[in-house]
Structure formats: structure tokens, C-alpha cells
Structure 1
Amino acid sequence: MYARTSSMQADPARIDDGLAVIRDEVLPAVTGMDGCVGMSVLVDRGSGRCIATTAWQSEDAMAATAEAVRPLRSQAEEVLAAGASEVDTWEVAVVHRDHATPSGACARITWLSGDPGSADRATDIFKMVVLPRVRELFGFCSASLLINRAAGRAVGTITYDSRAALEASRGPTGSIRDRAAAESGAMVDDVAEMEVALAHLHVPEMA
């Protein structure tokens, strides 16, 4: 499984308008493409940061749709009053769901970078160090890890049932993150807390 993320900086006042267009027009168009297995959108209503993720059955399917999704991305950027998106492609390394994502769910996203040759080790550490501990936290919903082997980059996402559960997890997940980064030799580049505005990814369990 593979994923494409489009990150953009939107006008916070345009978030709801943008989500309506994504839900009603972009989502049906993207999920109708060959090999697509769903789409999700994370938003920070305070800063206007938005991250849309589409998942694909294969790297070939993802590459084949690169041009077809471009006008849809431009449509979302326009209605969100956003600048050009930062687009990244990833291999889906880990997916674990405890239960379906409820309305009001929130996620903490962590971006890391390190040795391009350490992707498998980072994946193992996520499975053996991160997953067992976050699964025990209040309100845990799901976890995923995306990797880019060539660039030595990874992004882990932990989703919680509510904003309250997300906030309660800050202390515990900080120590989990520090341990995982140290054991994998990775550097934490960024951490963000965002609302799960759209959750229609249908990637199978990969843990």
C-alpha cells in the first residue's frame, strides 16, 4: 500500500467551505480512480494547516493518477484560499485500528528524518515500542506509519476519539516519541495536533 499527502496552508476562515468541496466533489472523484482505497483530511482550524491523504493499492496506481488529481488539488487550494500544496509520496508501513474513527476524533502527527537505510528498523520500533504503549492510552483509536525509504523520512499518526483524549495523551506520548526516536536514530522534525475532518481510508490492517 502507498499514500500521497498534500499539505497546504489555508485561510482558517475558509476551512468549512473547503471541507464541503472536498467531501462533495474531490472525495468521490479520487475514490473513483483505479487503485484508490480512500482519503482522509486533517485540519488545524487555528492555523489553517490542512493535510489530505489518499491511499493506493500499489505504487504504480499512485503514480498513474498523479496528473489526474492535480486539478482536484487545485480546486481544493482555491476554495481554501491556500498556496501551492507540498506533495509527498509514501509507503504504508504500519496500520492498526482499535475501532472506527468517531466524529470529533483528533490526531497527533509526528514527522521524523534519519538514515535512509533505517526504514525497516524504524518500522520495527514503531510496532514493538510505540504501538503496545499507545494502545493502552485513554481514547486510543488508531495508529499508522508512513515511510519514504529514499529520503529517510517517516510520519507517524496516532488518532484519539476526542480532543480531550488527545490532550490527555501529551505527556505519555512525549516519552514514547523520545524513546522511539532515540532507538531508531531519527530526528523529530515536527509534531502537530489536528482534527480528523474526513476519515475514509480503507487501508487493511498492517501491524
Structure 2
Amino acid sequence: MYVRATRVQNPPDAVEKGIAFFKEKVAPAVKGAPGNAGAILLVDRKTGAAVGITMWATAQALGASEQVGISSRTQSAAATGGSIVNVERGEQVIADRAQPPKAGSFVRLNTITGDPKKIDDAIKFVEKQVLPVLKALKGYRALLMSVDRLTGRSTVSTVWETIADLEASEPKVSSLRRDAADAAGASDVKVEIFETAFVEIAQPARV
């Protein structure tokens, strides 16, 4: 599975407009593209930050959908008065789902920029050390990891039933986060909290 993640900065008072646009325009447009496997929208209602994620069955499908992606993000930013921060692409290497995807869940998005040569070490660490701990915690719904093997950048998204569950998990994962950074050859991990505003997965991913 491959993903394209578009970060958009919207005015906080335009978040609902952005969610509606994604549901009504972006998701249907990408759903009709060959090889599409789903779409997700993450939002921070306080800051207006949003991440639109589209999922693709193959690298070829991801590449072929670039024009759809350009149109969607340009129109989305125009509709909300927002600005496109960046667009990143990656290979999804872990997709563990204890519960089916749903809107209203909460996501801790960890971004690690490490050594490209250590990507496989980072994947192994998340699989063997992080995942077993998370699966035992209250409210755990999913863990998704994507990597860019050329740059060494990886993202680990953990999904929780409620914001309280997410916050309660922090003491358990903070030390693991530092160890994951070490495994990836990174000096630090960027951590962001989002709400899942929209999710539609065509094909349930496997570990």
C-alpha cells in the first residue's frame, strides 16, 4: 500500500468547511481513480491544521493519480482560504487494526526523520517493541506506519477511541518513542494530535 499525505493550514473557523469539502469533493474524486484504497482526513480544530491522506494499492496507482491529487488540494485550499504546507508520499509498511476505521477517533501522529539505511531497523522496532505495548492499552484502535526509503522519513500514527485514551497512553509510549528515534537514526520525533474527521478504507490493510 502507498500513501500521499497533503498538509493544509486552514483558518480555524474554516475547519468545518474543509471537512465538508473533503467529504463531498475530494473523497469521491479519488475513489473513482484506479487503484485507490481509501481516503482519510485528520484535523486539529484549534489550529486549523489538517492532513488529507489518500491510499493506493500500488506505487504505479499513486503516480498515476498525481493529477487528481493536484486538483483536489488546490480546490480544497481555495474553498477554505487555506494554504498547502507540503505533500509527502510513502509506502505503508505496517497496518494493525484492532477495530475498524471510524470518524471521531483520535490520532497521535509521530514523524521521524532518520537514516535511510536504518528504515528496516525502525520498522522492526515498531513491530516488535511498540505494537505489543499499544495493543494492551485501553482504547487502542490501530497503528499505521509509512516510510520514505529515499529520505529516511517515517510516520507512525496510533489511533485511539477517545482523546482521554490517547492521553492516558502517553506515559507508556514516551520512552518507546525515544528508543524508536534511536533505532531510526533520528535525533527527535515530532508529535502531533489530530481528530479523524473522515475515513473511508476500501480494502482493510493487513500487517
Instruction: Map residues 1-207 of structure 1 onto 2, 5 A cutoff.
Output: 1-207=1-207
- Amino acid paired to 1:66: E
Q: Is the 8 A contact 1:114 1:153 kept in 2?
A: yes
Deviation at residue 173 of structure 1 after TM alignment: 1.6
Deviation at residue 186 of structure 1 after TM alignment: 2.5
Q: In structure 2, what is the Cα distance between the partners aligned to 1:202 and 1:97?
A: 14
- Amino acid paired to 2:145: L
Deviation at residue 38 of structure 1 after TM alignment: 0.4
Q: In structure 2, what is the Cα distance between the partners aligned to 1:38 and 1:24?
A: 14
Q: In structure 1, what is the Cα distance between the partners aligned to 2:200 and 2:187?
A: 30
Runs (4 or more) in structure 1 with deviation over 4 Å come to: none
- Amino acid paired to 2:125: I
Q: Is the 8 A contact 1:112 1:190 kept in 2?
A: yes
Instruction: State, as a whole percentage, how many aligned pairs show the same letter.
Output: 28
Q: Is the 8 A contact 1:95 1:203 kept in 2?
A: no
Q: TM-score, normalised by structure 1?
A: 0.95
Deviations 1:145-202 (A, max 9, x none): 0000000110000000111111111211212212222233323341001101111134
Deviation at residue 100 of structure 1 after TM alignment: 1.4
CA RMSD of aligned residues (A): 1.3
Q: TM-score, normalised by structure 2?
A: 0.95
SS in structure 2 opposite 1:126?
Answer: helix
Q: In structure 2, what is the Cα distance between the partners aligned to 1:188 and 1:111?
A: 9
Aligned length: 207
Q: In structure 2, what is the Cα distance between the partners aligned to 1:36 and 1:187?
A: 34
Comparing 144-153 and 110-119, the one that deviates more = 110-119
Structure 1 stretches lacking a partner, 5+ long? none
Q: In structure 2, what is the Cα distance between the partners aligned to 1:27 and 1:196?
A: 14
Deviation at residue 203 of structure 1 after TM alignment: 4.8
Deviation at residue 205 of structure 1 after TM alignment: 3.4
Q: Is the 8 A contact 2:101 2:200 kept in 1?
A: no
